[in-house]
Structure 1
Amino acid sequence: MSSVEVNRAISLGRLPHGFLGRRGGISVGECAGLNVGLGSKDDPETIAGNRRLAVSALLPEAELATVHQVHSAKAVVAYEAWPNDERPRVDALVTDRPNLLLGILTADCAPVLFADHDAVVVGAAHAGWRGALAGVTDATIEAMELLGARRDHIHAAVGPCIAQPNYEVDDDFRARFLAPDPDNARFFVDGPNGKPHFDLEAYVVHRLIAAGIGEVEALNLDTYADDDRFYSFRRATHRGEPDYGRQLSAIAIPG
């Protein structure tokens, strides 16, 4: 087991945060590494151990709050960590409480971490294509505003997700994005097989900028291409692997 790799965003400053990958965990097999996904077939005790390692790498005294992600555009305020069987079915969470680590799990979808350093409010969102299109980042910003944040003071960072060269889709997929805004065509290019490829990271960045966020940062890390560092659902599917891990992205307010 190697040490946990923590990818940080300049825009989030000194707040405890990180976009983790698979390095530094105790899982073996298809999920080898730092698998924190309760939905995987990995051993539950191993997953719990990986979660402890992840928390220790970011803010050892914190509680980890995660949600049951359903590709929605819903956000909730977290005051404490929920038991696993009571996690709300949403895709974003925000807080103004110290020592509460807000965690999002991904394996190709885009994790987005938010911080208003002035109001001391943080947030985390899981932006797959469905949630991104439906407005999960907008819902996160609105939930932060309820806690006193100002959107022009919010910094947001988009972490590891599948990059456009590896995100082949079909014409129906592209049509879903063109229907609400024909200008969304700029997030698609034709791939080598003649099928469209979607730029999820760029689209999420666009939504954040359009919402009036003060600063947006993209880490430009491709989950599909770097199997040594990140889990990828699509890569596992293409390889015919029976299971895949999930990585954690999290942020907290220190006590």
Structure 2
Amino acid sequence: MLETPWTRENAPKADAVVTRVAGLGATITVADCGPVLFADPEARVVGAAHAGWKGAFGGVVEGTVAAMERLGARRANIHAAIGPLIRQPSYEVGEDFVARFRAADPAFLRFFADADRAGHFMFDLPGFIAHRLAEAGIGHVEDLGLDTYSDPERFFSYRRSTHRGEADYGRLVAAITLA
């Protein structure tokens, strides 16, 4: 919960932040993971979550919503936006990755498509995040539909950088604040 500004030195290690303090930005950094911004305009509570596959799988969406509720937000009033992230045509994974999802819930297999390479699959991270948002009771979800991997003119992609053998990499920043 953000109540006063943090510096880089005293910032907590967390995948999400929420606040109801006007002028303080709830900010997260991502590389190809999903930046998810939340707002309840009636309760004046905002949040930001770093929803990579591990976070989305592990409950970062649900945890962010619960933290917002502790500040007075109501699920029915929360709006969420999924920002630029790696999308299914660019996100190839192996069988061990799929097995983890299958073991948790066989219905999660709908977020995987066959890849060109045998034993590999294409993961729909934004679809999975949207599913977790819906399951958390968030009815207002906007997916910007932007792929970090396939759009090098606008976005950094860690995976693309790695595939190209580039020595350095960057981050994307997503932020939301109350005026």
Instruction: Determine whether 1:151 maps to 2:89.
Output: no
Q: Taking CA–CA contacts closer than 8 Å with sequence separation of 6 or more, which of the two structures ends up with the larger relative contact order? A: 2
- In the other structure, the counterpart of 2:170 is 245
Equivalent in the alignment of 2:142: 217
Q: TM-score, normalised by structure 2?
A: 0.98
Provide the C-alpha distance between the structure 1 equivalents of 2:43 and 2:11, rounded to a whole number of angstroms: 26
Please report how far the alpha carbon of residue 193 of structure 1 lies from its aligned counterpart in structure 2 after TM superposition: 1.4
CA distance in 2, matches of 1:140, 1:121: 11
Identity of aligned pairs, percent? 55
Q: Distance in 2 between matches of 1:98 and 1:184?
A: 38
Say whether 1:132 aligns with 2:56: yes
Q: Which amino acid aligns with 2:76?
A: D
Distance 1:213 1:231 in 2: 29
Secondary structure class of the residue paired with 1:179: helix
Post-superposition shift, 1:230?
Answer: 0.3
**Match for residue 17 of structure 1?**
none
**Aligned equivalents of 2:27, 2:140: Cα separation in 1:** 21
Partner residue of 1:111 out of 17, 22, 35: 35
Alignment partners' CA distance in 2, 1:181 and 1:109 = 21
Is the 1:102–1:124 contact (alpha carbons within 8 Å) kept by the matching residues of 2?
Answer: yes
Q: Supply the distance in 1 between the matched residues of 2:5 and 2:33 (Cα, whole angstroms).
A: 23
Report how many aligned residue pairs link the two structures: 178
Alignment of 1:181-192 (within 5 A): 181-192=105-116
Say if 1:107 and 1:230, in contact at 8 Å, map to a contact too: no
Cα distance, 1:214 vs structure 2: 2.8
CA distance in 2 between partners of 1:222 and 1:167 (Å):
10
TM-score, normalised relative to structure 1: 0.69
Task: Supply the AA of the counterpart residue of 2:106.
Answer: P
What does residue range 1-255 of structure 1 map to in structure 2 within 5 Å?
77-194=1-118, 195-254=120-179
